[in-house]
Amino acid sequence: MDTDREAVGVSTPVDAEQAWRDLQRIRVPQERVYDEVERSASGSPRTTRTTAAIMWVFLVSMGLDLPKWGVWLALAVYLVALGTLARAHHRRSRVRLHHSRCDWRMLAGFVAGAVVTCATIVLSGRLVEPLEPMTGALIQATVSAAVFVLFTGPVSRWSTGALRGRNGRKTSEGAGR
């Protein structure tokens, strides 16, 4: 039937049934996009672990008694490493979701991740203050990296989880009326 439609091309008449089927057909490829985005968000533990490992190294280096230039150098190396990781992740991506499909949950997930991770770093830093600097930095880095790993997966799944329902509804709204 589809082949017939392709052959007939521009002069194909469209009745309500055909229009309904077309609206349903639109959903299928878009589901593939949401599958890929979800898979990318929740199925890349290697990227999450690498990010956590880089953060761990950076936080431990802060426990060393570095001079001011050393702190700046460590920060620069940390940011370059994160940028390289982001670029590698971007190169591996097969698709990028259109901004019109993003919603507040994605922004909220990102902000919540940043807030929780930063809060953990600050709080654990306070708690380990009485300890020896290196021991304290090791504990702080390990706790912060662990929180990051534990938090990232569920938040990514939560932020992309609503894509399918929301955008699926949007497509079928008219058809379902």
Shortest distance (Å) from residue 26 CB to other proteins: 4
CA 79 to chain centre: 18
Q: Which is nearer to other proteins, 17 or 65 (CB)?
A: 17
Q: Do residues 74 and 66 make contact, with C-beta atoms less than 8 angstroms apart?
A: yes
Annotate 3-64 with DSSP letters as a single string. Answer: HHHHHHGGG----HHHHHHHHHHHHHHHHHHHHHHHHHHHS-HHHHHHHHHHHHHHHHHHHS
Other CB atoms within a 10 A radius of the CB of residue 55 amount to 20
- The single-letter code of the amino acid at 119 is A
When binding is defined by CB under 8 A, the residue of 47, 50, 142, 171 that contacts other proteins is 171
Q: At what angle do helices 133-161 and 45-63 cross, to 10 degrees?
A: 150
Q: Which is nearer to other proteins, 38 or 138 (CB)?
A: 38
Query: How many residues of this chain bind other proteins (CB under 8 A)?
Result: 43
- Distance CA(148)–CA(152), nearest Å, equals 6
Nearest in space to 129 (alpha carbons), one of 119, 140, 120, 118: 140
The pattern of x and - marking residues 18 through 57 that bind other proteins according to CB under 8 A reads -xxxxxxxxxxxx-xxx-x---------------------
Q: Which is nearer to other proteins, 11 or 69 (CB)?
A: 11
Q: Which is nearer to other proteins, 126 or 170 (CB)?
A: 170
Tell whether residue 90 is a contact of other proteins (CB under 8 A).
Answer: no
When binding is defined by CB under 8 A, the residue of 49, 89, 101, 105 that contacts other proteins is 101
Shortest distance (Å) from residue 24 CB to other proteins: 7
Give the residues lining the site for other proteins (CB under 8 A). Answer: 2, 5-6, 9-17, 19-30, 32-34, 36, 93-99, 101, 167, 171, 173-177
